[in-house]
Structure 1
Amino acid sequence: MSTENNVGAAVKSVRPALLPPGELAYYGGLGLMAVFGLVEWPVAGVLAFGTMIARAGRESSQARARGSGG
């Protein structure tokens, strides 16, 4: 019983740090494409980094819009 509570608490604490399933699939697919040589590692890295920057910018602009009374 105590182990189940510990596992549940661990899942609740880790869940916010995990990527949403769609993003996890994107980055996983990008990694697999690099592993199998469909894209070069530097290209995969630039694509992943660019996607992260774009997402952060979008989330920032949405937060500003919500904060301005919208």
Structure 2
Amino acid sequence: MNNNDIELSWFKSSYSSGEGGMCVEVAATADTVHVRDSKNLHGSRLAFSIRQWDAFIDRLTAEEFGA
């Protein structure tokens, strides 16, 4: 089974605007976080392990709060 065969529940980022700008959606499974462009639902997707995603979010948070 590949990532395209999995039924995912997608959520639009709270930072995405409704004005056609840069919008992403994410969907999580037990061990993977999937990311796609909300304007191109059938286009390429990225998939990250939970550990990779946590490291990414930690880095974003550190930069946002100056840590």
The structure richer in strand per residue is 2
TM-score, normalised with respect to structure 2: 0.34
The structure richer in helix per residue is 1
TM-score, normalised with respect to structure 1: 0.33
Asked which structure has the greater RCO (Cα within 8 Å, sep 6+), the reply is 2
